[in-house]
Amino acid sequence: MQSYYKDFFKKAKIKEEVMKGTICVDGVVGVGKSSLGRLIAERYNIKLYEEPVLDNPILDKFYYNKKRWSFPLQIFFLNKRFKMIKEAENLGACVMDRSIYGDVIFSKMLADDGDMTKEEFELYEELLYNMLENVKKPALMIYLETSVENAVKKIKKRAREYEQIVPIEYWTNLDKNYREYFDNYNLSDFLKINVDDIDFVNNLEDREYIFDIIDRKLGLK
């Protein structure tokens, strides 16, 4: 059976132009995207677009009633990410904590689990494809890879109440989808970094290791 994501990248028609200086950071929940995004913003003195989680009026409701809130939540995220991309095109450089390019991962999972209806997912897809036709490629997509066990440890440590009720099966499935998505990713220049044994937040040596990889990928070294 052919991968959904392989078909997705065939259908996704984005502009050939590159948004110079635009870096996207993606990966499963708990991998450290937000932390790396902040460090990148500080390192290169560029604007950080944070994922719309803290000021999201739907997210906590979603975790307690997925069938009711899945579609509104995904439209909320999609709309916010499209707005960010449009703003980013007018900047010289920026970094994004998740982006519109990977938004489909969560919607596909919700549709697969029956939390989003077939009709809702088809509407979401149509809207996403229409939006992607109007955006440019990022200069660099960074995928932070980690094991499910390490991601769950970090999720428990940060103790967001609505995340604590999520079963391990969900995080395992999320990891599977992320790996499949990035195995097929072809929209832009791409960098995968496994962070299982790296603490770039608290260990300066590990942080410099990460930035050395990014600098070389960006042609800064």
What's the pLDDT tens digit per position in 170-184? 899 999 999 999 999
Total count of domains within the chain? 1
Q: Is 2 annotated as a binding residue?
A: no
Give residue 1's pLDDT band: very low, low, confident or very high (50, 70, 90): very low
pLDDT at 199 over 50: yes
The span from the CA of 163 to the CA of 150, in Å, is 15
Quote the pLDDT of residue 167: 80
Question: Over pLDDT 70: what percentage of the chain?
Answer: 96
Q: How close are the terminal C-alpha atoms of the chain, in Å? A: 42
Q: Is 34 annotated as a binding residue?
A: yes
pLDDT at 127 over 70: yes
Backbone angles phi, psi at 202, to 5 degrees: -105, -15
Residue with tokens 């078909």, as numbered in its chain: 7
Quote the pLDDT of residue 64: 85
Give residue 221's pLDDT band: very low, low, confident or very high (50, 70, 90): low
Torsion of CA 90, 59, 54, 163, to 10 degrees: -130
Compute the mean pLDDT over every residue in the chain, rounded to the nearest whole number. 91
Quote the pLDDT of residue 22: 94
Q: Is 42 annotated as a binding residue?
A: no
From 106, 29, 44, 114, select the one nearest 75 (Cα to Cα). 106
In the structure encoding, which two tokens stand for residue 45, read together?
A: 């003195």
The span from the CA of 44 to the CA of 38, in Å, is 10
* Helix (H) or strand (E) run with residue 158 in it: helix 148-158
From 108, 75, 143, select the one nearest 5 (Cα to Cα). 108
pLDDT tens readout for residues 15-54 = 999 998 999 999 998 899 999 999 999 999 999 999 887 6
CATH code for the domain in which residue 122 is found? 3.40.50.300
pLDDT (average), residues 74-98: 93
Q: Is 64 annotated as a binding residue?
A: no
Domain hosting residue 185, numbered range: 4-217
Cα within 13 Å of Cα(138), Cβ side: 27
Q: Is 99 annotated as a binding residue?
A: no
Quote the pLDDT of residue 2: 62
DSSP secondary structure code for residue 23 in this structure:
E
* Residues classed as catalytic: 97
Contact, 214 vs 190, CB < 8 A? no
Angle between helices 104-112 and 4-11 (to 10 degrees): 140
Quote the pLDDT of residue 92: 84
Question: Over pLDDT 90: what percentage of the chain?
Answer: 76
Give residue 159's pLDDT band: very low, low, confident or very high (50, 70, 90): low
pLDDT at 60 over 90: no
Q: Is 180 annotated as a binding residue?
A: no
Quote the pLDDT of residue 56: 85
Quote the pLDDT of residue 53: 75
Contact, 80 vs 72, CB < 8 A? no
pLDDT at 144 over 90: yes
